[in-house]
Amino acid sequence: MNLLFLEEIDSTNKYAKEHIAEIPDGTIVYTDNQTAGRGRLNRKWSYMGEDNIYASLVLKPSDKMEDVYSNLTQLLCLVLCQTFEEYGVKPKIKWPNDIQINGKKISGILAEAVMGENVLKGIVLGFGINLNTSREILSQIDQPATSLNLEIGKTIDKKEFLEKVINKFCLLYNDFIEGGFLLIREDYIRRAGFLNKEVTVKVLNKILCGVAKDITPTGALKLLDENNEEHILLIGDIL
Ligand code: BTN
């Protein structure tokens, strides 16, 4: 995997999308100073200081979009969980790819596909991780959030954390492209904090309430609503 470090940038995802043609497959674009980070649903991703991770992984698996590519966020999510676990914490996944520790968000992923005239130019998996943040900074975020240093009581080496993520991702990636989500389903489900619980899911502009029953072999969320009707959700956000 290649590393492309930028001293300061508005958003690593935006940079990766704009330079997709020049960035080789398997490159991590990362920065210490992200001035206008974006999250899913056009939310803002706050800058919390240079000791946190602001990175985008550029992948070019083929020039044709395949269903399995939409599960790459779940692969990265699992890899991030496994990395957190090496530090002795117990992360939980909030479908599809938020990571929480003790109910507080510690990491988020923003996946974007870059298309051009019916060809897939590349996939950008942006991830933000709170590695070393103070309680004071976290209290300014609009949702409960935590940081790895606060969870384990010591400063985290950012380079070491990133290397662990890269190594784990590389180990699984080729098999995942061949075998799909099914390959990681059990490991993903083991960390899914929302299963068999009442959830409210926002799907585009619709709100669905019910019990999260399962994650299907293709990574979708199976929800049983208040009228016992089953919904298979490919996209959405648990609120
Ligand atoms: C979310 O939780 O909504 C996803 C957050 C993704 C944030 C990362 S930080 C690096 C990359 N650049 C961005 O602008 N966003 C992603």
The answer to whether residues 206 and 182 belong to one domain is no
Report the residue among 10, 28, 127 best suited for mutation to probe ligand 1: largest number of ligand atoms under 8 A from its CB: 127
Provide the number of structural domains found in the chain.
2
Name, in order, each residue with C-beta under 8 angstroms of 207's C-beta and a sequence gap of 6 or more.
200, 201, 239
At 219, list the tokens: 């990574």
What is the domain extent for residue 213?
A: 198-238
- The enclosing domain of 223 has a CATH number of 2.30.30.100
The answer to whether residues 168 and 57 belong to one domain is yes
How many angstroms separate the CA atoms of 98 and 216, rounded? 18
State the sign of the Cα–Cα–Cα–Cα dihedral 150, 196, 172, 120: negative
Residue-wise pLDDT tens digits, 120-159: 999 999 999 999 999 999 999 989 999 999 999 999 999 9
- The enclosing domain of 139 has a CATH number of 3.30.930.10
Query: Which residues have any ligand 1 atom within 6 Å of their CB?
Result: 11-13, 37-40, 43, 45, 54-56, 98, 108-110, 126-128
How many angstroms separate the CA atoms of 184 and 182, rounded? 5
Model confidence band, residue 17 (pLDDT cutoffs 50, 70, 90): very high
Residue-wise pLDDT tens digits, 47-89: 999 999 999 999 999 999 999 999 999 999 999 999 999 999 9
pLDDT score, position 97 = 87
Count CB atoms within 10 A of the CB of residue 140: 9
Which residue lies with its CA nearest to atom 14 of ligand 1? 37
The answer to whether residues 54 and 132 belong to one domain is yes
The atom number, within ligand 1, closest to the CA of 98 reads 2
The answer to whether residues 222 and 166 belong to one domain is no
The answer to whether residues 75 and 151 belong to one domain is yes
The answer to whether residues 174 and 205 belong to one domain is no
Write the CA distances from 165 to 51, 82, 211, integer angstroms. 16, 9, 32
Q: What are phi and psi of 232, to 5 degrees?
A: -105, 110
Residue whose token pair is 């929480």:
100
What pTM was estimated for this model as a whole? 0.96
At 217, list the tokens: 């072999």
The answer to whether residues 117 and 202 belong to one domain is no
How many angstroms separate the CA atoms of 100 and 188, rounded? 14
How many angstroms separate the CA atoms of 124 and 111, rounded? 6
The answer to whether residues 173 and 208 belong to one domain is no
Amino acid identity for residue 165 in this structure: V
The answer to whether residues 212 and 97 belong to one domain is no
pLDDT score, position 73 = 96
Residue 126 Cα, ligand 1 centroid: separation in angstroms? 5
Domain boundary among 153, 170, 190: 190
C-alpha 25, offset from chain centre: 19
Question: Does residue 105 contact residue 144 with C-beta atoms inside 8 Å?
Answer: yes
Mean pLDDT, range 156-179, rounded to an integer: 97
How many angstroms separate the CA atoms of 40 and 143, rounded? 14
pLDDT score, position 204 = 87
- Is the model's pLDDT at 239 over the cut of 90? no
Residue by residue, DSSP assigns 162-188 as HHHHHHHHHHHHHHHHHH-GGGTHHHH
Q: At what angle do helices 158-179 and 72-85 cross, to 10 degrees?
A: 140
Residue 39 Cα, ligand 1 centroid: separation in angstroms? 4
The answer to whether residues 43 and 92 belong to one domain is yes
Residue count of the chain, please give it.
239
The answer to whether residues 117 and 203 belong to one domain is no
Mean pLDDT, range 86-95, rounded to an integer: 96
Model confidence band, residue 205 (pLDDT cutoffs 50, 70, 90): confident
Residue whose token pair is 């061949």:
178
The answer to whether residues 129 and 217 belong to one domain is no
